[in-house]
Copies of this chain bind each other. A is one copy, B any other.
């Protein structure tokens, strides 16, 4: 259900969403955090910037007293943190997912600066969407498979000779930009990511991609080609498009018929 529950807001009436309402739709997801102190520091960074939803994916040590110590006044954010086993679970109801990366990666994703990212976060949260900002491991960041769950990458334009912002510093900078955007001080930058009014949530997109992969197998598409490369390109294409829910249903209908035909071709005796 994409329509806002509160009849006061509509997609075209973003001004009626308060910064607090928008902030409540924004989660910060830490993936595979190694040092529990960083989880506490991140909780603190969120709270200073008026955010409250911390999500942990497979943290290496948690709960841990170092997390509590570093939270220093943001224990409420830490206590409310949700823990998941996989990033996909943490994102299942999200409509916009931005992955923070230290630098451009092999994965081809559109890259946004923090300010443009914050504008996109605000636009989507104002329109009623669930939004995630995803941060990877301290040393190694996000894996390619994790980045592929993201709609765009966020890159903090740090000093190229020394770009090692620590995890808490990166969370602080992004949370700060999100707060500035929610307060309306983004420099009035337009949202860089087009928001579909009825955008398909993450889980529906993933369902479509899974069926697309099955269909490619069924029609013998991969013969002599690497399956991963084609799926990567197709994912990129459809993520860029920003499919709405009706379009996902239409495309899945096409795939279902192609799969049915492939089944008939393989079992002519039926």
Interface set of A (CB-CB < 8 Å, partner B): 44-45, 47-50, 72-74, 110, 112-116, 119, 156-159, 162-166, 168-169, 172-173, 176, 179-180, 183, 185-194, 215-216, 218-221, 230, 233-234, 237-238, 240-243, 246-247, 250, 253-254, 257-258, 260-265, 268-269
Contacts and interface: CB of A to CB of B under 8 A. Distances in A.
B250 A230 contact: yes
A22 to B, nearest CB: 14
Given A192-B192, A247-B233, A159 B258 contact: no
Given A157-B183, A247-B233, A219 B258 contact: yes
Contact of A187 (B115, B176, B192, B246): B115
A191 B192 contact: yes
B264 A250 contact: no
Given A73-B162, A157-B183, A265-B262, A190 B233 contact: no
Contacts of A115: 180, 185, 187, 190
Contacts of A246: 233
A185 B116 CA distance: 10
Nearest to A221: B257
B48 A260 contact: no
A257 B194 contact: no
A82 B67 CA distance: 34
Contact of A219 (B73, B194, B230, B254): B254
Nearest to A257: B219
Contacts of A74: 162
A230 B252 CA distance: 12
A253 B231 CA distance: 13
A158 B247 contact: no
A165 B72 CA distance: 11
Contacts of A257: 216, 219-221
Nearest to A191: B192
Q: What are the 7 tightest A-B residue pairs by CB atom distance, in nearest-first order?
A: A268-B268, A264-B265, A116-B190, A187-B187, A50-B159, A219-B257, A265-B265
